[in-house]
Structure 1
Amino acid sequence: MSTETLLYIILAGIVALLLALFQYKYKSKSASQSVALFTFLRFITLFSILLLLINPKFEQFKYFTQKPNLIVAVDNSASLQYLNQDQNAKNALQQLVNNQELKDKFNVEVYSFGNTLEASDSVSFTNQQTNLDKTFKELTQIYKNTISPTILLTDGNQTVGNDYQFSAKNYKQPIYPIILGDTITYSDLKISQLNVNKYAYLKNKFPIEAIIVYNGSEAVTSKFVVTKGNTTVYSKPLSLSKTKSSEVLNFTLPATGVGVQEYKAQVVPLVAEKNIVNNYKNFAVEVIDQKTKIAIVSTILHPDLGTLKKSISSNEQREVVFLKPNQLESQLNDFQLVILYQPNNAFKGLFDKLNTENINKWIITGPKTDWRFLNNVSQVYTFDFSSQTDDYQPNLNPNYTSFIIEDLDFESFPPLKSTFGDSEFKTPFEAILYKTVSGIKTQEPLLTTIETNGRREAVLFGENLWRWRAQSYLNNGSFLEFDNFIGKLVQYLASNKRKNRLNVDYNSFYNGSENIIISAQFFNKNYEFDNSEALTISLKNKDTNKTSKRPLILKGNNYQVNLSNIPAGDYNFTVSANSENIAVSGNFKIVEYNIEQQFLNANVTKLQQLATNSNGEAFFIDNYAVISENLLKDNRYQPIQKSNKSVVPLIDWQYLLFIIALSLALEWFIRKYKGLI
């Protein structure tokens, strides 16, 4: 409380006392006990009212004890079930969660993890992937500024993500792994990695790289075999030992038929081998009989050119060629799409030919674009340009209808640089991205597509696309999302197929351990996205003839269904609208592969190193009970007394109102009783 406020309170007391004395002492001239009582009651009333007007503020302290957290994270992946450790994991989890001494000392919080981290103590051991890297990153965000020792029930075998030992360095908490799994080393042959392109071209040969790994002390011989159906298409003898524990095989196979071709790679098991599941891998290749050729035309050097090539070429069905404007004019018919980067007057002959032959194009503009030239040759838009440049951030149009677009968190992307001005379109257009200027969202297109006279065209009003790809990598840990976005745009522009009211996005085949997501968009008769339609997918397994139906769930600007839990096999499907007679059919293959069954032992070395680096301790499942005693005795995990200081104004103190009412009521009743009223 400040000195000024204290002076006001003293003054209020003096004024209240003087007023009370004036009314009952000075006027009545009496010294009876009743007058003294009335003076006191009036003083209390006046002083309380004046205090309310001054409204002093008081500091209030509340003390509380904060217990440290104890994080119990249990591996919910299928590998524990395969290693026969699922029941051990459940028993250990129950013992820790029900330990009353631990609950008295810690706030016990339980998580399960597979590909994602979930706040749950319910475990089924059915997740098909283990991502400890992501688990530690998410726990770091949750328990950044707390004391939170972490118990990890796992076999330590990770199937996706970066090495978790590196991400755990940012997790500033002691880690106590409880190691689940067999620690005895058995002789084991396995296909550690199989690298193969997703696409191949008819009558060509596609490369395959296989890495064979041997764990054991004795020299062994075996054979690596690749079969297609009942036919062996490749084989090679293997000789491995303790000193030569791996071998890399590089070979090619011919692409003889169009469509999805399924193969099986296998290392013939040893006689006493315990785990033979990791001896084989199924893989598939989609053979196509043509390749989409895309020309990137530019007269300047810019990082965007390399970004476009990497993103487009990430799909092996597409080939990218860099050309000068005069080089392309003579071979224009060889390309399905032409990307024109910051065109200028040197593009005049090329533009004339593109317009004459009605060829699809994508124009990317920027500060080096000659807008006088482009306004003269463009048939569908003009740009009211100035000599100034500006930065434009992207803002996704959720109502874009030409193809399915996932939101890549575009608002986090850095701005593109472009000439300042406004565009004016002479024909209907559809914006994929709008411009955001200085944080203000506008309806001015940044990336737009146009369909006119059977030709498709796109315009991007800005350079530095390479920064978007880099930001996408920072957001997601891979370039895949951004490359898919560019790939869908290129696929749309390279095709002249008529727009359908129901579009379905899917792959021709999936590996058994990956997420299988099928997306769809439905449009009304005006080709506006309809988010009120109910879509259903009907699935039929060709091998078993088993059928099933599932609804598609609305997510953003498309409908999705997750089919990750269906068994491997060939499937026909039909996506249909419930209210109209509109349907799209297709087929896909799920290649059998369970990555969680590739492990024979727990990764003891890595888990022990993880514990050492974090100042924790590793335990085997046989003696995990000791962990409770260690945690209870560890002086690093003590409850902390904290205080909360709050400033409370007197007006919030409700008892003061009661005192005013009580003093007035007493004064009135006593005066009434004595006949003074």
Structure 2
Amino acid sequence: MMNISNTFIWILCLGIAILFWLILYFRDQTFKDIKPYWKWLMISLRSLATAILLYLILAPLFKSVFTEVKKPLIVIAQDNSQSILRNWPKDKQARYLADKTALETELSKTFEVLPLTFGEKPDEQQAIDFSERATDISAAFDYIQNQTAGQNLGAIILASDGNYNQGRNPLYSNPSLSVPIYAVTLGDSTIKRDVSIQRVLHNSIVYLGDQFEIQADLKAYRCEGEKLNLQLYRVDNNQEVLLKKETIDVKESDWYHSQKFVIDASRAGTIRYIVKVSPLSNEYSIENNNRDFFIDVLDARQKVLILAAGPHPDLAALKKILEGNKNYQIETKLLPGEIQNIQSYSMVVFHQLPSKTVDITPILNELNKTQKPRLFIVGGLSDIPRFNAAQTLLKIAGDTRNMNEVTGEVRESFSLFTVDPAWKEFLRNFPPVSAPFGEYQASPGANILMTQKIGNIITNYPLCMIGEDQGSRTAIFAAEGIWKWRYFNFEENKNFDMVDDLVRRVVQYIGIKEDKRKFRVYTQLKVYLENQPIVFDAQLFNESYEPVNTEDVFITITSADRKDYQFTFSKTERAYTLDAGLFAPGSYQYTASVNTKVGKQEVKGQFVVQRIQLETYQSTADHNLLRLMATQQGGVTVSPDQVSTLAEIINQNKTVKPVQYSSQRTYPIVNFKWLFALLTGLLCLEWFLRRYHGAY
């Protein structure tokens, strides 16, 4: 291939063609009697056609340069949030919007113009109605950066009150935007007499019966000398129940204060709370005098029963270990003795049980009805034959008349949960515990956490193991004396962490509740904001626990005022889904149902829709932030009345100018079809002239 810009090759091809046809034509006597100009014309036609053919044989390339001039792009970003309307008369609103439209028209004569609105998110299509419930200026800058990449972005016109309540600080949010920002200062920056609850800090999840802290941050302007009455309420069945109240003195004109409340989690569920501050006389706005929020109070405590054949230091150690997890409520009982309502316990620990004097078969039969998890600790009082009959994970051929002093060795293949490598090393130094002498045979399905180390010999005999026994998660510790490990842990590290953590992990694993429901319904969230659609997912299983969706699933959503909303789920590949849309703020109960071959199945639940109050918390526009952004980016700040001047200001900015882009494209010259038409035309014309003058 060659480049057409190399004219020497073209001239060479043309010269060769002319020389060749000159020789042929002047040697041919056929045209000796015609006028010379006809001969020269035919020579020229044949030479040009031949030169083109020679040139095409070399497969030349053709280069073309395209030049495009791109106008500067001006982005007009309009804050569409609710706070813009505060203290803004309708006639001034209308005048501003008309001036903004005129500005877009004027700018479009010279520039490309991209208008967009922003609030909760940027949008190029939304009408300006000042209805957005939140303001994220940084998201608008991110959107501009992404949408204008590769374009000639000239300037940004930012029309806002400067208040943002979501996202990052716009002053530092996008340093790669290196174009002028022209800020239009909307809103009222006058400091007004006002009290607001700026934010409420709290845990999103607490446990039933615990105490937890709520912190309310208050802000007041021009209220010095006033006394504020701050109240904390819990909402029960749409009724506000006063929990706490405080009287606080405002000591300064620009005042900030954090007030803490400590309350009890006395009810389970998703609980709504409200913090209120009583309005003052002549206060600018009372919309920001209250905040509501939601806390999940979980009734997740598991009652753990420790049953023992007799007093033992292990019992106190186990109780201390398990009480370290506030989700466990521990009770200890010695057998023989009366046990009432064994089903009320989530888990049972059998310490040296069954024994020679205590048969636990009735207790196990009751636990097996609901497949309650259990932990066996084998010791000197254990009856080995009864122990072997009580479970299927471990068989011991021996008795407790002779005991081995053993330590533990972590098995590397154990994978039910992660064991800290440091714990493995530390375990080798632990004092020995007492395990029954004999042969140990573990079930193939058991997961062995530790094996017994007798002296320096590491055996395959299980010391600690986990498995499933007839549908019940079961753990076995085949020795007594765990209190020694805990005591040694404290002597070495001044804490019980390593031993306590491992025992809790074992208990936590066997205590995990497996969901065996055949009909399940979930909301994607427990607490929704009022601008988030309520979405449900559902699953239905047959008798073999295979997912199916042959039946229709229905749901009824009930509001706090007893209004029902009914929906039918859509079917996905092997499940169900429902987008119920937006709901008004409040608490809702739902009942989902499906009719199957075994009868009607129902799932009940609740969700909460939380009101968005972000736009009410700041009563004063932050024009200073807008000025800083404009100054930082080399722009200016104008008032709404000066919007029409921005066209002239931007036109005078020499950095906002068109950009010329040049691009070069290379084509094989054979792609030009007209060239072959030219070649054919030249040869046909030359042939016609030859025939006309009597040659062939």
TM-score interval w.r.t. the shorter chain?
A: 0.5 to 0.7
Deviation at 1:607, TM superposition (A): 1.5
Matched, 1:598 2:617: yes
Say if 2:278 is the partner of 1:268: yes
Aligned twin of 2:169: 163
Find out whether 1:73 has 2:60 as its counterpart: no
Alignment equivalent of 1:107, drawn from 109, 112, 134: 112
Task: Name the counterpart of 2:585.
Answer: 568
Q: CA deviation at 1:269?
A: 0.7
Task: Decide whether aligned partners of structure 1 residues 225 and 8 sit closer, same or farther in structure 2, where only a CA change above 3 A counts.
Answer: same
Name the counterpart of 1:615: 634
**DSSP 3-state at the match of 1:655:** helix
Query: Are residues 144 and 197 of structure 1, via their aligned partners in 2, closer, same or farther at CA, if it must alter by over 3 Å?
Result: same
1:498 corresponds to 2:516: yes
Cα pair distance change 1:217/1:190, threshold 3 Å: closer
* CA drift at 1:589: 2.0
Write the distance in 1 (CA, Å) between the matches of 2:93 and 2:656: 25
Show structure 2 runs of 5+ residues with no match: 304-324, 329-348, 353-366, 376-406, 426-441, 449-466, 475-507
Q: Does 1:240 align with 2:244?
A: no
2:136 corresponds, among 123, 131, 140, to 131
TM-fit CA distance, 1:535: 7.8
1:650 offset after TM fit, Å? 2.1
Q: Which residue does 1:420 correspond to in 2?
A: none
Q: How far apart, CA to CA, are the structure 1 residues paired with 2:687 and 2:218? A: 100
How far apart in 1 are the matches of 2:206 and 2:161?
Answer: 38
SS at structure 2 position matched to 1:35: helix
> How far has the Cα of 1:330 moved from its partner?
8.8
104, 120, 127: which one aligns with 1:122? 127
**Shift of the alpha carbon at 1:627?**
1.9
Give 1:451 deviation, angstroms.
Answer: 10
Give 1:361 shift. 3.9
Equivalent position SS for 1:117: coil
Q: Distance in 2 between matches of 1:190 and 1:288?
A: 31
**For residue 263 of structure 2, what is the aligned residue in structure 1?**
253
CA distance in 1 between counterparts of 2:277 and 2:555 reads 38
Cα drift, residue 144 of structure 1? 5.3
Report the CA distance shift for 1:105/1:554 in structure 2 as closer, same or farther (over 3 A): farther
CA contact (8 A) 2:60 2:669 kept: yes
1:346 aligned onto 2:409: yes
Instruction: Give, as a single letter, the amino acid of the residue that structure 2 aligns with 1:21.
Output: L
Q: Is the 8 A contact 1:199 1:285 kept in 2?
A: yes
**1:408 matched to which residue of 2?**
none
CA distance in 2, matches of 1:666, 1:578: 89
TM-score normalised according to structure 2 size:
0.64
Q: Is the CA contact 1:543–1:569 (under 8 Å) kept in the aligned structure 2? A: no
Within 5 Å, which residues of 2 pair with 1:144-293?
146-216=152-222, 218-228=224-234, 229-242=239-252, 245-291=255-301
Which residue matches 1:629?
A: 648
2:606 maps to a residue whose letter is N
> One-letter code of the match for 2:232?
V
> How far does residue 66 in structure 1 lie from its aligned partner after superposition?
1.7
Q: CA deviation at 1:192?
A: 0.9
Q: Which residue of 1 aligns with 2:344?
A: none
> Which consecutive residues of structure 1, in runs of 5 or more, have no partner in the other structure?
294-315, 320-327, 339-343, 352-359, 371-375, 383-449, 458-489
Partner of 1:12: 13
The aligned amino acid for 1:106 is: F
Distance 1:501 1:23, change over 3 A: farther
Identify the range of structure 1 (501-510 vs 548-557) with the bigger mean alpha-carbon deviation: 548-557
Whether contact under 8 Å (1:128, 1:513) holds in the other structure is no
- Decide whether aligned partners of structure 1 residues 553 and 123 sit closer, same or farther in structure 2, where only a CA change above 3 A counts: farther
Separation in structure 2 between the aligned mates of residue 278 and residue 502 of structure 1, nearest angstrom: 40
How well do the aligned residues superpose, as a CA RMSD in angstroms? Answer: 4.7
One-letter identity of the residue aligned with 1:599: Q
C-alpha displacement of 1:381: 10
Distance 1:256 1:623, change over 3 A: same
- Output one character per residue of 1:526-585: Cα deviation in whole Å (capped at 9) or x when no partner: 87778999987653323161526487697999956374x421122233567899998754
Tell me if 1:518 matches 2:581. no
C-alpha distance in 2 between matches for 1:218 and 1:534: 63
Contact 2:218 2:258 in 1 (8 A): yes
Instruction: Say if 1:224 and 1:268, in contact at 8 Å, map to a contact too.
Output: yes
Distance change (3 Å), C-alpha of 1:175 and 1:121: farther
In 2 relative to 1, CA 634–349 (structure 1 residues): closer, same or farther, beyond 3 Å?
closer
Aligned-partner Cα distance in 1 for 2:423–2:60:
66
Q: Deviations over 1:190-231 (max 9, x none)?
A: 111111222332233221111111011643222101223343
What secondary structure does 1:624 align onto?
Answer: helix
Q: Distance in 2 between matches of 1:550 and 1:155?
A: 44
For residue 499 of structure 1, report the CA deviation from its aligned partner: 5.7
CA contact (8 A) 1:217 1:242 kept: yes
Q: Which residue of 2 aligns with 1:436?
A: none
Identity of aligned residues (%): 21
Match for residue 527 of structure 2?
509
User: Structure 1 residues 135 and 38, CA, compared in 2 at 3 Å: closer, same or farther?
Assistant: same
Contact 2:206 2:297 in 1 (8 A): yes
**Shift in alpha-carbon separation, 1:568–1:107, aligned structure 2, 3 A:** same
Q: How far did 1:189 drift? A: 0.5
CA distance in 1, matches of 2:274, 2:200: 11
Question: Are the aligned partners of 1:85 and 1:180 in contact in 2 as well (CA < 8 Å)?
Answer: no
Q: Cα–Cα, structure 1 residues 133 and 605, in superposed 2: closer, same or farther, change >3 Å?
A: same
Q: Residues 503 and 42 of structure 1: is their aligned pair in 2 closer, same or farther, counting only changes over 3 Å?
A: farther
Contact residue 31 and residue 693 of structure 2 kept, 8 A: no
CA contact (8 A) 1:337 1:494 kept: no
Q: Are residue 541 (structure 1) and residue 604 (structure 2) matched?
A: no
Length, aligned pairs only: 527
Distance 1:664 1:533 in 2: 80
Q: Secondary structure at the match of 2:651?
A: helix
CA distance in 2, matches of 1:29, 1:674: 9
Distance 2:59 2:604 in 1: 74
- 1:599 alignment partner, SS class: coil
User: Which one-letter code corresponds to 2:50 in the other structure?
Assistant: L
1:586 paired residue among 605, 608, 614:
605
SS in structure 2 at match of 1:166: coil
Tell me the CA shift for residue 154 of structure 1: 1.7
Partner secondary structure for residue 409 of structure 2: helix
- Distance in 1 between the 2:579 and 2:443 partners? 45
Q: Give the whole-Å Cα distance in 2 for the aligned partners of 1:109 and 1:498.
A: 55
Write the letter of the residue equivalent to 2:589: N
Going from structure 1 to structure 2, the CA distance change for 1:369 and 1:200 (only over 3 Å counts) comes to: closer
Match for residue 66 of structure 2? 62
- What displacement does 1:494 show? 3.0
Does residue 1:26 correspond to 2:44, yes or no?
no
